[in-house]
Structure 1
Amino acid sequence: MTTPAPAPHEGLCAKLLRGWRGARSLNALQALAPYDRDRVLADAGLTDLTAPAVLRASHVGALLPAAMALHGVNGAAVEQDRPDLMNDLQRVCALCRSARTCRHLLAEGCTQPEHALLCPNADTLDALR
């Protein structure tokens, strides 16, 4: 099985998500020396508590770009100018408990105000406009 090619503009969280899926990924992360694991997690804005949820979050790659577009944010520009902010957006999206509802709203063509009621990244996305 091959790993999919990276998107032209993707943050560290997205790279971790793409490259470290499931239990094997968590095992690899846990196998690192504590100092190295802490550095990898800190670089991605994660902790030992949040890493498992983020590594299992397959929805980020589809929902975050759609949400950014809906809110009028150029994701490629954010990735280029503020990769730290993109990592934070990805982490928040990965930890969101409303991914299923978000997917349905975006698929149905919701409005930005409708989506903003649900999205924990809404304030940040609106500030980026």
Structure 2
Amino acid sequence: MTTPAPAPQEGLCAKLVRGWRNARSLNALQALTPHERSRVLADAGLNDLNAPAVLRANHVGTLLPAAMALHGVDGAAVEQDRPDLMNDLQRVCALCRSARTCRHLLAEGCTQPEHALLCPNADTLDALR
């Protein structure tokens, strides 16, 4: 009998976003002192100004894995080996202002060089290949 592979670790940014979508967690975050809230957000690479944009970024869960695959990066391996780097990739993707264009490019089957012109994570993804 084989043992299943361990599930990849979820990046801190993804955990916070998933957790904050739960009203109780959001209330708990808002109940923190400004200093404590800043520390929690800083741990995820966020601040009071960009956290709302990250919380609204529903595209990260679909576009980032597709972009990683297009650039030849094994997302599960990055998640497992470098959760800190995955956190950064997720945060950059969440703050990207070109999500709609990215979605269309990926749906149309764009090439890696076409996508790299648009994606703020392109250099990091290319370095991971």
Instruction: Write the deviation string for residues 75-124 of structure 1: whole angstroms up to 9, x where unpaired.
Output: 11111111111110000000000000001111111110010000000000
Is residue 92–residue 120 contact of structure 2 (8 Å, CA) maintained in 1? yes
Q: Which range moved further: 39-48 or 97-106?
A: 39-48
Is residue 73–residue 128 contact of structure 1 (8 Å, CA) maintained in 2? yes
Instruction: Write the deviation string for residues 6-60 of structure 1: whole angstroms up to 9, x where unpaired.
Output: 9844211112222213988655422212232122111111111111100111000
Is residue 8–residue 79 contact of structure 2 (8 Å, CA) maintained in 1? no
Cα distance 1:3–1:116, how it changes in 2: closer, same or farther (>3 A)?
Answer: farther
Is residue 60–residue 90 contact of structure 2 (8 Å, CA) maintained in 1? yes
Gaps of 5+ in 2: none
- Greater Rg by CA: 2
TM norm structure 1: 0.86
Instruction: Count matched residues.
Output: 129
Cα distance 1:26–1:53, how it changes in 2: closer, same or farther (>3 A)?
Answer: farther
Please provide the CA RMSD for this pair.
5.2
Please give the residue correspondences for 1:2-81 in structure 2 after superposition, counting only pairs within 5 Å: 8-21=8-21, 27-81=27-81
Distance 1:44 1:65 in 2: 19
Gaps of 5+ in 1: none
Q: Which range moved further: 16-25 or 44-53?
A: 16-25
